[in-house]
Amino acid sequence: MTDLLRLDHVTKLFPVGGFFSRRSMKAVDDVNFALSADKPEIFAIVGESGSGKSTLAKMMLGNEVPSSGQLSFDGTDVAAIRGRAAREAFMAKVQPVFQNPFEAFNPLTKLDEYLFATAHRFLGASNRGAREAAADAALQRVGLSLSEVRGRYSHELSGGQLQRIAVARALIPNPKLIVADEPVSMVDASLRMSIVNLFRELRDELKVSIIYITHDLATAYYISDRVIIMQKGKVIESGDARTVLEHPTQPYSIALKGAVLPPDPAAASAIIRQRQVVAG
Ligand SMILES: Nc1ncnc2c1ncn2[C@@H]1O[C@H](COP(=O)(O)OP(=O)(O)OP(=O)(O)O)[C@@H](O)[C@H]1O
């Protein structure tokens, strides 16, 4: 059986101290985990700023190459993918959703054009009808429709709506994995749960696995199947999300939990349920 995504001793060094310096820092330090190809899941990567989450995301998307170790997708070493066709095929299967939906869309470009361009690029949708059908199907998946989005610009929509459109764009190529790097941190608190609930629907209905990168323990607890907690590039805790987040064992994760949720699991669940009600 092939893993969907597999990281073996993945390490990423960045040089520090200028051009002539031989010093480097480990942004990601010996990270190991795998996602099964048979069982879609939401896999959370939690950690404070600078813990290496985004660097991991960039390596999963093929935008950075590990300094050592191997990161493979569907049995293929991502760093070894060469050539335009192979690269496009990989990109279709592994799609990103970024933190800031206002930066993801140029304010001078109509939002539907992004969706049409993605349908053209990855599905080969060559005529307008095919592009519109693909865009509408993806928008319907995220609770919108092409008629609501057609001709509109990013400044006309809320952060939550824009992030839904970003997810719709990511869905057009029929990906197997979505790498979402802090996807709700720029979204209004009242809309966050509706976006993370959307990830659950994608997992259950489209069988897409989601890498959910966040520093928000509450949403990670609420939607994730498994979690790793990172500190200074290393994985310091990993396992079933509820177990890890309810019973952290490392001082850093205990402090992280204490800062976000009350230590009593029942009280923590109540807060999370309350946020969900607020989000409608
Ligand atoms: N291109 C780069 N060159 C040099 N150092 C880098 C580079 N990218 C990241 N780093 C460093 O690597 C470490 C990990 O950064 P990374 O962005 O992966 O962390 P993060 O957990 O995603 O943080 P944040 O939540 O703030 O984005 C940081 O110390 C950062 O300064």
**pLDDT tens digits for range 184-243:** 988 888 788 888 999 999 999 999 999 999 988 888 988 999 999 999 999 999 999 999
Kindly give the distance from the C-alpha atom of residue 116 to the centroid of ligand 1, in angstroms, as a whole number: 33
- Name the β-bridge partners of 211: 43, 179
Q: Rounded distance, CA 186 to CA 72, Å? A: 30
Residue whose CB lies within 8 A of the most ligand 1 atoms, among 53, 63, 99, for a mutation test: 53
Taking the CA of residue 16 as reference, the ligand 1 atom at the shortest distance is 4
Q: Is residue 229 part of a domain?
A: no
Q: Which two tokens stand for residue 151?
A: 């001709």
Query: Using N-to-C axis directions, what is the helix angle for 159-171 and 189-201, rounded to 10°?
Result: 20
**130 in a structural domain:** yes
State which residues form the domain around 176: 34-47+77-223+237-279
Greatest distance between any 2 Cα atoms in the chain: 57
Whether residue 216 lies inside any domain: the answer is yes
Distance 101 CA to ligand 1 centre (A): 20
Q: Is residue 91 assigned to a domain?
A: yes
Tell whether 71 is covered by a domain. no
Q: To which residue do tokens 């970024």 refer?
A: 98
CA 14–ligand 1 middle distance (angstroms): 9
Q: What is the CATH number of the domain that holds 166?
A: 3.40.50.300
* Residue 171 placed within a domain: yes
Task: With respect to residue 72, please indicate whether it lies within any of the assigned structural domains.
Answer: no
For the CA of 182, the nearest atom of ligand 1:
25
- Which ipTM was obtained for this model? 0.94
Contact 179, 212 (CB under 8 A): no
For 158-190, what is each residue's pLDDT tens digit?
888 999 999 999 999 999 999 999 999 888 887
Q: What is the enclosing helix (H) or strand (E) of 7?
A: strand 3-15
* DSSP tag of 82: -
Pocket of ligand 1 contains residue 55 by CB under 6 Å:
yes
Report yes or no: 138 and 169 within 8 Å, Cβ to Cβ. yes
Q: Is residue 137 part of a domain?
A: yes
144 lines ligand 1 (CB under 6 A): no
Number of structural domains the chain divides into = 1
- Report d(CA 184, CA 197) in Å as an integer: 11
